[in-house]
Amino acid sequence: MSQKEITLPVALVGGGMFGGDVVIRTIEDLERCGLAPYLGRVGLDHVASDYYNVKFELVAIGTRTEATATKLAAMYASKVPNSSPKAYWGDKPWEEIFQAERKPKILFVATPDHLHYEPVLHAVQNDAHVMVEKPLTLNLKEADVLLEEARKKNRIVGVDMHKRYDPCHRFLFEDLTSGIGKPLYGRAVLEEPLEVSTEIFKWAEKSNPFSYVGIHWVDLFGHYLRLRPVSVHAVGQKSLLKNWHNEGGDQAIDAFDSVQVAVDYEDGFRVYYVNNWINPKEFEAPVNQEMELVGTRGKIEFDQQYRGLRATITGLGTRTFNPHFTSDLRREAPVSSVNSSPSYEGYGKDSIVVITERATRVELGLAQRDELTGTYPDIESSRPSVAIIEAAKEVAERNLQHLQAGKGCPVTARLSEAGIEVLDPATDSELKTQIYSGNIYGSWN
């Protein structure tokens, strides 16, 4: 590698709950300090020296509204000396970003669930690598296009599956599961606060709680246990959000309050995924999350919401905290103006760092995209998860209709190398509907 300093321009689209917090905070640290300080946490310390002369510069921030884009750009410039990202806004700010003189080499995408596909595709077609928030897409057809383009362009597209990097999850799957024998069944719960679906997100009707957060658990089990899903049964409830206009809200929200999905895997292992985004604000943590894994020789239980840190404070009440996800870390003296802000640490940052490192590695010509397959949350490993959330949405919608018509919830989906087939014995039309044709596993495993 040349000793000449290399600066990679990067851009961010999406300035909401994650884009305007976790993602932009991670970019701040990368611009201040480069990659090397953060690689030890993710098992990449042995390549840190490859990036001693690589710097990053945030050149653009794009959001839907002018107010958010200009606010984030000004905030970033005030915290990172000599930085001046340009603000872009509109329905497709990524298009204007890639028309600028300094085009980003890496695009960080934190748009709503249903708006991931277009900016990712546009970036790859313009020779940029991508870090995108989960889920990759809401259907396999879009995922397939992105995979084809990424391979053709030799571009990294990584999905922010940060639960893979939670130290407790790593320990659970890498050190404990081998001792419980053959896995029989599991249960994974992740429940979000009501304000997410009613205040923070204006797009709840375009997704559902399983696609939004259940994807984390689907990816976690699939990644560590190398599972091949073969069938899906899903049910969901529409009560609170559908009547939100009667609960003090501005209007009704046609979205599931909660969804429960049972996924069967090839070896008979079954996982129950339980998700909602209507937890009351009085709940003692930002989210409720827990999991259970049962095998022939033992079981594992993990309460991620209550990790042992609890406080009761006047005016706030009792709350539990998870500083493992992200937390500020005071930088010790000597501290220059460049590093005056606190460092940002936690597993919420780790997958973003890994994807950025993989993208930088390819950009510098140190590896080809396909050589790194399986070493980060890539498109290949995301495809089975996308298949599950696509099938679950179709099955849950049909089952709700049949339930309301007094026909129970008999709909399931079959997943295979031939695609996704919905089996609906209660319909008056065809019993079977093919909603995707093609191998859902691909080259993943």
The helix (run of H) or strand (run of E) holding residue 191 is: strand 183-193
pLDDT band at 443 (very low <50, low <70, confident <90, very high): low
Q: What is the pLDDT of residue 305?
A: 87
Residue finishing a domain among 355, 377, 399: 377
Confidence band (pLDDT; 50, 70, 90) for 149? very high
- Residue 80 in tokens: 């990172």
- pLDDT at residue 315, as a whole number: 87
The pLDDT, as a whole number, for residue 1 is 42
- β-pair partners for 286: none
pLDDT digits (tens, 9 = 90+) for 7-31: 999 999 999 999 999 999 999 999 9
Same domain (yes/no): 298, 368: no
Whether 270 has a pLDDT exceeding 70, the answer reads yes
**pLDDT at residue 337, as a whole number:** 66
Of 3-7, 226-230, 345-349, the poorest mean pLDDT is in 3-7
For the chain, report the end-to-end CA distance as a whole number of angstroms.
34
Question: The domain that contains 312 carries what CATH number?
Answer: 3.30.360.10
53 & 144 share domain: yes
Q: Is the pLDDT of residue 35 over 90?
A: yes
Range of the domain at 252: 167-319+379-445
Assess whether 383 and 342 both reside in one domain: no
CA distances from 433 to 411, 416, 420, 424 (A): 11, 14, 8, 8
Question: Do the domain assignments include residue 422?
Answer: yes
The answer to whether the beta carbons of residues 55 and 34 sit under 8 Å apart is: yes
Distances (CA, A) of 7 to 4, 58, 105, 185: 10, 10, 10, 48
Q: How far apart are CA 61 and CA 19, in angstroms?
A: 10
What average pLDDT does range 70-94 have in this prediction?
95
Q: Are residues 235 and 92 in the same domain?
A: no
Question: Which CATH number is 134's domain given?
Answer: 3.40.50.720
Q: What is the pTM of this model?
A: 0.95
Quick one: 22 and 148 in the same domain? yes
Q: Does 276 share its domain with 422?
A: yes
Mean pLDDT of 223-241: 97
Domain count along the chain: 2
State whether 54 and 184 are in the same domain: no
Please say whether the beta carbons of 366 and 429 come within 8 A. no
159-174: average pLDDT: 96
Residue 326 has pLDDT above 60, yes or no: yes
At 248 the pLDDT is 85
Q: Are 132 and 120 in contact (CB under 8 A)?
A: yes
Out of 377, 397, 416, pick the residue that ends a domain.
377
Asked whether 370 and 148 are in contact (CB, 8 A), the reply is no
Residue 411's nearest CA partner among 175, 279, 263, 233 is 233
Query: In this structure, are residues 182 and 176 in contact, taking their beta carbons and an 8 Å threshold?
Result: no
Rg of the chain over all Cα atoms, to the nearest angstrom: 22
What does the pLDDT look like over 251-267, one tens digit per residue? 999 999 999 999 999 99
Is residue 173 located within the same domain as residue 130?
no
Q: With 60 as the cut, is the pLDDT of residue 121 above it?
A: yes
Whole-angstrom Cα distance, residue 439 to residue 230? Answer: 12
Mean pLDDT, rounded, for 148-169:
97
Both 176 and 292 in one domain: the answer is: yes
Q: CA nearest 288: which of 312, 314, 306?
A: 306
Q: Do 174 and 63 fall into the same domain?
A: no
The mean per-residue pLDDT over the stretch 313-332 comes to: 89
Whether the bond into 135 is cis, omega within 30 of 0: yes
Average per-residue pLDDT in the chain? Answer: 95
Same domain, 259 and 353: no
The two three-digit tokens of residue 152, written as one number: 């053709």
Residue corresponding to tokens 């890994």: 354
Q: What is the DSSP letter of 23?
A: I
- Do 59 and 131 belong together in one domain? yes
Q: Which residue has the tokens 């994650």?
A: 18
Stated as kind and residue range, the H or E segment containing 398 is: helix 379-404
* Residue 1 counted as domain residue: no
Amino acid at the residue 259: V
